[in-house]
Structure 1
Amino acid sequence: MKRHLMLALALLAGAAPLSAATCEVTVESNDAMQFNLKEITIDRSCKQFTVHLKHVGKLAKVSMGHNWVLAKTADLQAVATDGAKAGPANGYLVPDDPRVIAHTAMIGGGESDSVTFDVERLGDGGDYSFFCSFPGHWGVMKGVVKF
């Protein structure tokens, strides 16, 4: 019995540790008005989640700026439409818009930005989307967030 216990302990000591959930993602945007991802899945064990946005294009923010915005899918169009009216000085988002769960800054080619948000802001069973709020981009630059 003692021999079996020692063997079991030896096997456990050499076992790989349990992998932790990945609580971050890198999203690339480009000069063709595209994100490289159409879906992001957030593990339920994450307390916080970080999105790193990287603009891999070359065009300036004024002509081909991108951001990453998270909102309920039902709010997406209204957030984007209202954001367009808020203008470039506000990153095409209404300041402190309660419908926006998280967002990065508006960035141009070669730039990057990150945002970290509390996952508890996502309710169980909610329908969430991410998108770029630059005018005209949200119609094609969007994806879903699963939780």
Structure 2
Amino acid sequence: MHTTLRNTAAVLLTALLAGPALAATCDVEIEGNDAMQFNKQSIAVPASCKQFTVKLKHAGKLPKTAMGHNWVLTKAADAQAVATDGIAAGADKAYVKAGDARVIAHTKLIGGGEADSVGFDVAKLKAGEAYAWFCSFPGHSSLMKGTLTLAK
């Protein structure tokens, strides 16, 4: 009897501990710094999430006028054109062209010590599509970029 009870307790404890680890995480935190680097290169968005939130943190000290960062998500095929159009949009528009339908989501432009977050509807993503994210501050997108995938 004690062995059965102990085994049942062990199974329940294992299930309780594994439960949160198996649950989909519907957000991610990314840091940018004064060396024009993000601390991640890829993000996998669980298909089970309805909304996904990206929390951007600027770990540096420089102001946004000198070393501002944002996080912009597009299809990979659109990334370069969106970054180019963003430069023309200017700092007051966070280097994102107003009303650009190619932009799935973006944060505001932040400087050292600041943070922002953006959430987007996961239904906007398609399985098998290549997505890219980047900082659209002039000159940053060639170094500060990554990929995003829709995970099963």
Q: TM-score when scaled to structure 2?
A: 0.88
1:97-117, Cα deviation, whole Å (9 max, x unpaired): 100000110000000000011
**Distance in 2 between residues matched to 1:16 and 1:104, nearest whole Å:** 37
Q: TM-score when scaled to structure 1?
A: 0.90
1:51-89, Cα deviation, whole Å (9 max, x unpaired): 000000000000100000000010000000001001111
Matches within 5 A, 1:1-147: 13-17=12-16, 18-19=19-20, 20-147=23-150
**Distance in 2 between residues matched to 1:16 and 1:105, nearest whole Å:** 40
Q: CA deviation at 1:13?
A: 4.5
**Distance in 2 between residues matched to 1:60 and 1:139, nearest whole Å:** 20
Unaligned runs of 5+ in 2: none
1:92-135, Cα deviation, whole Å (9 max, x unpaired): 01112100000110000000000011111111211001100001
Identity, in percent, stands at 57
Relative to total residues, which structure has the larger helix share, 1 or 2? 2
Computed over aligned residues only, the root mean square deviation of the Cα atoms, in angstroms, reads: 1.6
Question: Which of structure 1's runs of 4+ aligned residues deviate more than 3 A?
Answer: 6-15
Unaligned runs of 5+ in 1: none
Give the count of matched residue pairs. Answer: 143
Q: CA deviation at 1:9?
A: 6.6
1:146 aligned counterpart, secondary structure: strand
